[in-house]
Amino acid sequence: MSDAPIPLAKPSFDESEERLLLEALRSGWVTQGPRVAEFERLFAERVGAREAVAVSNCSAALFLALRVHGIGPGDEVIVPSLTFIATANAVELAGATPVFVDVEPRTYNVDPDEVELAITDRTRAVIPVDQVGLPVDLGRIEALAREHGLAVVEDAACAVGSRWRGEPIGSRDHLACFSFHPRKVLVTGEGGMITTPDPDQAVRLRRLRHQGMSISDLERHQSEGAVIEEYPEIGYNFRMSDLQAAVGIAQLAKLDEFLARRRALAARYDARLADFPEAIGPAVPEGSEPNYQSYIVRLRGFGEDRRDRVVDALQRSGVGSRRGLMASHLEPAWATGARRAGSLRHTEEAAADTLLLPLFTAMTDEQQDRVLQALRSAIDASAEAP
């Protein structure tokens, strides 16, 4: 048995990324060119979206999605606190106020009842998050949004390839934002994508990502004569490069293979966790097909100190681990400036009791067995306070 460290996550690259990246480099066209357009087309096709717009990362995607809905100062946006802090930070960037609500204790996804209770006459949008790739209850969130005239901006940073009631995440009637950060299922280094059912919204998103310019670089290159662009509105530089898109095209072609391996590893973890009375694996509600972007484990009632001792022991034994999910409202950055709606008890408990175990496409069964052995020792050792 090798005792090389096992990382928490690891992108899977092979000759296909190398080949497409090299082609992009040799073409000399390294940003906002044909590969970005092709990646957008293939991504939209894959997730069943009318349009997909590539951007520099998912944080930018969330901000732009709020921006096209006209959300800004004075507006409230309902978000779970139990998510990566980028969700709330995007609301701040748009100038609006995040309103933190609690999650369901088993799925760690936002609780639609709590969303409903948090709606005020200033609420303009809700950002449901498909946490660690597990689809949120979209049906109930969408119904609430319709009833109260709210925009839905789905934070699908972790959820490429996941399905809700048989439909791919990204295919529904609202904007969804994806990430291609190295901890995600598809990796382009940095990178993001926004899917939308509305072609006009897509035009606007492409303009906003490119300093508000009325015409894309691709269109300008393809036109025969001179084209003078206009700037009908203020925009930003949230462009994806063709180098990232080249990697994304190669990654997307392997999505089914990645999902199959992730699901097999998750099923194996689920089965082995039966031998761990202290641990609870991820819940998968009826109709949800997660992509297992991460494998999250809850250590029953351990609390933050004991959970941290387990994470520390895993790390020291060469097994990558992290605390499970963060409670954004407990971070100093969000101690003020946001509104908390109701009790965030389930959020605080999940933030204290959960951790992540390694899961990546190239992980072997033997590595997974080592993780489980290390988890057993780490849990046992954590029983004694330091």
Ligand X SMILES: Cc1ncc(COP(=O)(O)O)c(C=O)c1O
Smallest separation, CB 350 to ligand X (Å): 14
Which one, 24 or 157, has the nearer CB to ligand X?
157
Using CB under 6 A, pick the residue from 155, 278, 289, 353 that binds ligand X: 155
Stretch that binds ligand X, among 51-59, 72-80, 106-114, 270-278 (CB under 6 A): 51-59
Binding of ligand X by 169 (CB under 6 A): no
Q: Spell out the SS3 assignment of the chain.
A: CCCCCECCCCCCCCHHHHHHHHHHHHHCCCECCHHHHHHHHHHHHHHCCCEEEEECCHHHHHHHHHHHCCCCCCCEEEEECECCCHHHHHHHHCCCEEEEECECCCCCCECHHHHHHHCCCCEEEECCECHHHCCCCHHHHHHHHHHHCCEEEEECCCCCCCEECCEECCCCCCEEEEECCCCCCCCCCCCEEEEECCHHHHHHHHHHCECCCCCCHHHHHHCCCCCCCCCCCCCCECCCEHHHHHHHHHHHCCHHHHHHHHHHHHHHHHHHHHHCCCEECCCCCCCEECCCCCEEEEECCCHHHHHHHHHHHHHHCCECCEECCCEHHHCHHHCCCCEECCCCHHHHHHHHHEEEECCCCCCCHHHHHHHHHHHHHHHHHHCCCC
Binding of ligand X by 59 (CB under 6 A): yes
Stretch that binds ligand X, among 27-35, 53-61, 241-249, 276-284 (CB under 6 A): 53-61
Stretch that binds ligand X, among 52-60, 162-170, 203-211, 247-255 (CB under 6 A): 52-60
Instruction: Kindly list the catalytic residues.
Output: 184
Which one, 182 or 301, has the nearer CB to ligand X?
182
Smallest separation, CB 9 to ligand X (Å): 11
Using CB under 6 A, pick the residue from 115, 129, 186, 240 that binds ligand X: 129
Site string for ligand X, 186-205 (x = CB under 6 A): ------x-------------
Stretch that binds ligand X, among 98-106, 150-158, 202-210, 328-336 (CB under 6 A): 150-158
Instruction: Tell which positions 85-104 bind ligand X, by CB under 6 A.
Output: 86-87
Which one, 135 or 368, has the nearer CB to ligand X?
135
Kindly list the residues in this chain that would bind ligand X in the complex (CB under 6 A).
57-59, 83-84, 86-87, 129, 155, 157-158, 179, 181, 192
